[in-house]
Structure 1
């Protein structure tokens, strides 16, 4: 394969989706399995629940209403913790006090996409860690600004834009576009804007998909195959 072949992977996800955190870890492993392919990972927005108010909701009550009972919620937490442990994630689900609206987090992620190589990826990872491992409210502006700083962003820009409506509609339109494409759950890995791998798949599945698309692209057959 041409070792100059480059492939884009758009990860459509929500930063409060635990399976998206698992998917991020599995994508990392998949990329280690793909030789001779330069992969450009880009994070795209999705909201599991856009109806959550800007200030968020009390987490336990929200989750009980969603899952119906403490027993069912406990089973879900146990399963997630077991899966997370296999991927190096220490889920601290009981530490989460607020279920946030994630629109502002996605706005900052959008700005991170033009802030330099690797910045957006670092920010996405940090937001997952803050929410799922540290129990932080990633709907809070100060938390988002601190995360942006850690990822290498110019926080003066974030501090200026975050209180405004900058890119609010653009993010919502991206989410609507994903829905029109048939995305009904996340994570969704969109390879070269054409081939979708749904769910937190095994790293081998992701690696095979990336490799196959890269081979088609290297042979100039990508358009014909779409």
Structure 2
């Protein structure tokens, strides 16, 4: 049984804010959004009381397990652009990422279905390493040209940030977290999320897209303002009778 909590006069029980983030590994704006959110957190005085949870969102569930088509050509086909126009889009995205300290190499990118990678993120969450694994997967995909549709590759990357490679292989091969990925995607649909990144702060505020650090900081401040308790005495449980000496506490006897 948990001990009863009492906020003393002039003090408060500090709340915690959960930020749920839906994103995909193969989403260039999701990596940029991650960096901007991290910049916002560094400016947020209560950052130590923010819990970040990464949720699964596949931009293309039907993507093949592996593809030899270049990112440029995929982009051209998707948006009806010429290869030159698609390359301009990639160059612009690369420049935007560079402003956040990220290095994108679309020319060496190996396209893959991200379903396995999302399952790995759920496994990582159970070990308290979700953010570290998320970061490692994004860097591997956008900077290093790693193929993330392969169990062995995912296990090796996870091992670099503290997970057991054999456990990762076993759980991915058994599809242990497949349903968890689908549940995340069902929740995204229920929220009406159609693009990522998408931030849900405190279960109340939704922020769509890789907004600026300033905008994300403003959202954090807003949700904190809503959740922060007032410094007043709030008794939960405890002694009911003035003369009782039970339940772990004794009351001061009344005079007379």
Matched, 1:39 2:50: yes
Give 1:131's match in structure 2, choosing from 137, 141, 145. 141
Whichever of the two has the greater Rg, that structure is 2
Q: Does 1:104 align with 2:116?
A: yes
After TM superposition, give the deviation of residue 2 of structure 1 in Å: 6.2
Instruction: Give a deviation string over 1:102-121, Cα, whole Å, max 9, x none.
Output: 010000000100102xx110
- In structure 1, what is the Cα distance between the partners aligned to 2:123 and 2:133? 10
Report the 3-state secondary structure (helix = DSSP H, G, I; strand = E; otherwise coil) of the residue aligned with 1:40.
Answer: strand
Higher mean alpha-carbon deviation, 155-164 vs 62-71, is at 62-71
Q: Distance in 1 between matches of 2:112 and 2:227?
A: 40
* Aligned equivalent of 2:157: 147
Once the two structures are TM-superposed, the CA of residue 201 in structure 1 deviates from its matched residue by 0.3
Unaligned runs of 5+ in 1: 221-226
The equivalent position to 1:184 in structure 2, one of 194, 197, 208, is: 194
CA contact (8 A) 1:3 1:36 kept: no
Q: What's the Cα RMSD here?
A: 1.8
Deviations 1:116-146 (A, max 9, x none): 2xx1101101111001011111112122101
C-alpha change, 1:3 and 1:32, in structure 2 (3 Å) is farther
Find the residue that maps to 2:65 and give its secondary structure: coil
Note the C-alpha offset of 1:36. 2.6
Give the TM-score normalised by structure 2. Answer: 0.80
Shift of 1:85: 1.1
**May I ask how many residue pairs the two structures share in their alignment?**
217
For residue 51 of structure 1, give the secondary structure of its aligned residue in structure 2. Answer: coil
Distance in 1 (CA, whole Å) between partners of 2:219 and 2:186 is 25
Decide whether the 8 Å contact of 2:15 with 2:229 is kept in 1: no
Q: How far does the alpha carbon of each residue in 1:160-182 deviate from its partner, in whole angstroms, 9 at most, with x for none?
A: 11112222122112112201211
Aligned match of 1:52: 63
Higher helix share: 1
TM-score (norm 1): 0.90
